[in-house]
Amino acid sequence: MSIKYQEIAEITSQEEISDGIFSMWIKTENIAKNAVAGQFVSLYSSDSASILPRPISICEVKDDKSGLRLVYRVAGKGTSEFSGLKEKDTIKVLGPLGNGYTLKNETAMLIAGGIGVPPIVELAKQLHQKGIKDIKAVVGYRSELFLKEELEKYCNVYVATEDGSSGVKGNVMDAIRENGLTADVVYACGPKPMLKAVSDYAKQNDIEAQISLEERMACGIGACLACVCKSKEVDEHSNVKNKRICADGPVFDSREVEL
Amino acid sequence: MNTKVNLAGVELENPVMTASGTFGSGMEYGKFVDLNNLGAVVTKGVANVPWEGNPVPRVAEVYGGMLNAIGLQNPGIDLFVKRDLPFLAKYNTKVIVNVCGRTLEDYLEVVERLGDEDTVDMLEINISCPNVKEGGIAFGQNEKSVEHVTKEIKKIAKQPVIMKLSPNVTDITVMAKAAEAGGADVVSLINTITGMKIDIERQTFVLANKTGGMSGPAVKPVAVRMVYQVANAVKIPIIGMGGISTAEDAIEFMLAGATAVSVGTANFVNPYTTKEVVDGIKSYMNSHNITDINSVIGAVR
């Protein structure tokens, strides 16, 4: 686990890239330098009545490691406040948090749904830089697409939409089936039903799947035990069949956890 | 300047401690603050056997605070003694182990087990967790039971015993007096206030446990009032907590009658809070020409 830093970061840009989905670049001293694909940061509200940090996944790390791109959905008061921040405004950030994806030297399929898409952008970039030739991204949306162009820089992108407005009508598993896609390793981020389907798919095909989970968090650093998931075996830290998503994850081998 | 305070013969470097359940055993927050500078580390509750805790979601934010229903997930005393105590032994801070149980026998087993552990300076008995069905608060809402549990624990405890009190009672002074009558060395208060949050879009409870314990800045006035009432009702020292996030909050609790204070939920908001409270108390003493922190304790009558 990397060292965590609390910083007051400056916003360098903010835009709405899809309905209710915002993309914000922030300038950081140390967080970006230490961040890897699949990790997240905690963002703090400036309203003292909103006490808990908001965990937000890292979408991209700037090439010179001087900043982070955070793509998030406005889901409540905190994220709504963040979406109103402008260039030169500042925000309190803690990170990088959690463990990211473990990059393998094998053909890769990145599967993501909805607001699970952002973290696979940095992952695709890293896999591409690592020299992995065969990288596919399978991304699912309700209707409107976002971050597709970013992904296309590093891999072949297959789309599924619930309303059939782009790509395959249905979900990411439908897209995998209809396009006859396979890979040696699967990396996934998205809603729980999707991750469950990905885990089952990996099991049936006997391939490795690294899945990123989310849960309501408080501390974000492994102390409060709020954001646990069920593990198949007794966990070394908790001594029960619980793992901490913030500290032991958010990325887990699908064989380790019960969804 | 003297910042030392005394809790039942245990001398703390300063009155700032951590609230059980918000700081683990210090491993995570020790990466942000120097544990040597804390008056004491109070560990998360530990039981005789591992507990899985409640289903998720276990936390929810509310205005000025949060609800939690972790359900006392803990690794059990065996692993705790093997892993957490040796970690804490490396630091020059007092170690207070919070003990939880479903039955009186559970508590006694842990208390007895910790009797031989030199690292443990004090025991805090959790008879006030609102999030477990058995044990916890079931012991803390009836004065006869508070006195009985305290008495039985005191019979075998080798370290001073702190009884942690629930605010979810009609009159907290009755429980404090019962703990004192049972032989408690110290009382700590308040544990969380039982609350509820409903998701109006999904028309369901936000927490899987339906109810959760409320903590954070919004509960502070209730906690200060209860500390004041208890300070006027018992002679034993009080550890005050409930919404402390600044040195000013800590001083307020001490003026109300607390000998020591615990920082809880504020750790989640800012991992450096404990250090800031310790430093801030010294600044307050400087700017108010206070040479001994003990002169602040219960100064407002």
Give the model's pLDDT for residue B133. Answer: 65
Same domain, A170 and A204: yes
Query: Please, are residues A37 and A81 in contact by the beta-carbon 8 Å criterion?
Result: no
Same domain, A205 and A140: yes
Same domain, A122 and A190: yes
pLDDT confidence bin for B134, thresholds 50/70/90: low
DSSP B29: G
Query: Please, are residues A38 and A101 in contact by the beta-carbon 8 Å criterion?
Result: yes
Residue A1 scores a pLDDT above 60: no
pLDDT digits (tens, 9 = 90+) for A158-170: 999 999 999 999 9
Task: Indicate the residue of B21, B56, B270 with minimum beta-carbon distance to A228.
Answer: B56
Give the CATH number, domain containing residue A82: 2.40.30.10
Give the CATH number, domain containing residue A250: 2.10.240.10
Whether chain A has a CB inside 8 Å of the CB on B52: the answer is yes
pLDDT confidence bin for A2, thresholds 50/70/90: confident
Query: CB A215 to CB B271 under 8 A?
Result: no
pLDDT confidence bin for B139, thresholds 50/70/90: confident
Same domain, A85 and A130: no
Structural domain containing residue A14: 5-97
Whether chain B has a CB inside 8 Å of the CB on A71: the answer is no
Output the CA torsion sign for A154, A160, A163, A169.
Answer: positive
DSSP assignment of B45-110 equals PB-SS-B--PPSP-EEEETTEEEE-----B--HHHIIIIIHHHHHTSSSEEEEEE--SSHHHHHHH
Q: Which domains does chain B have, with CATH numbers?
A: 5-52+72-192+217-295 (3.20.20.70)
Residue A142 scores a pLDDT above 60: yes
Indicate the average pLDDT of chain B.
Answer: 96
Same domain, A196 and A128: yes
Residue B35 scores a pLDDT above 90: yes
Give the CATH number, domain containing residue A156: 3.40.50.80
Same domain, A204 and A109: yes
Show residues of chain A in contact with B28, CB under 8 Å.
219, 221-223, 247
pLDDT digits (tens, 9 = 90+) for A65-120: 999 999 999 999 999 999 999 999 999 999 999 999 999 999 999 999 999 999 99
Show residues of chain A in contact with B64, CB under 8 Å.
48-49, 51
Query: CB B70 to CB A225 under 8 A?
Result: yes
Same domain, A109 and A159: yes
Same domain, A197 and A220: no
Query: Would you please indicate which residues of B are annotated as catalytic (active-site) residues?
Result: 129
Residue A134 scores a pLDDT above 90: yes
> Of A97, A117, A145, which residue sits at a domain end?
A97
Same domain, A251 and A151: no
Give the model's pLDDT for residue B128. Answer: 83
Same domain, A192 and A236: no
CA A250 to chain centre: 9
pLDDT digits (tens, 9 = 90+) for B184-232: 999 999 999 999 999 999 999 999 999 999 999 999 999 999 999 999 9
Residue B137 scores a pLDDT above 80: no
Task: Indicate the residue of B68, B73, B216 with minimum beta-carbon distance to A242.
Answer: B73
Look-up of token digits 């470097």: B13
pLDDT digits (tens, 9 = 90+) for B278-301: 999 999 999 999 999 999 999 998
Same domain, A183 and A242: no
Confidence (pTM): 0.95
What is the domain count for chain A? 3
Please tell me the distance from the alpha carbon of residue B179 to that of residue B164, in angstroms, as a whole number. 9
Does B128 or B99 have the greater pLDDT score?
B99
> Of A47, A65, A97, which residue sits at a domain end?
A97
Please tell me the distance from the alpha carbon of residue B275 to that of residue B87, in angstroms, as a whole number. 20
Show residues of chain B in contact with A221, CB under 8 Å.
28-29, 31, 271
Structure tokens at A171: 């979900």
**ipTM of this predicted structure:** 0.94
pLDDT digits (tens, 9 = 90+) for A184-198: 999 999 999 999 999
pLDDT digits (tens, 9 = 90+) for B144-194: 999 999 999 999 999 999 999 999 999 999 999 999 999 999 999 999 999
Give the model's pLDDT for residue B138. Answer: 76
> Of A64, A97, A130, which residue sits at a domain end?
A97
Task: Indicate the residue of A6, A218, A241 with minimum beta-carbon distance to B52.
Answer: A241
Structure tokens at A101: 């994806």
Over residues B37-55, the mean pLDDT reads 97
Same domain, A39 and A51: yes
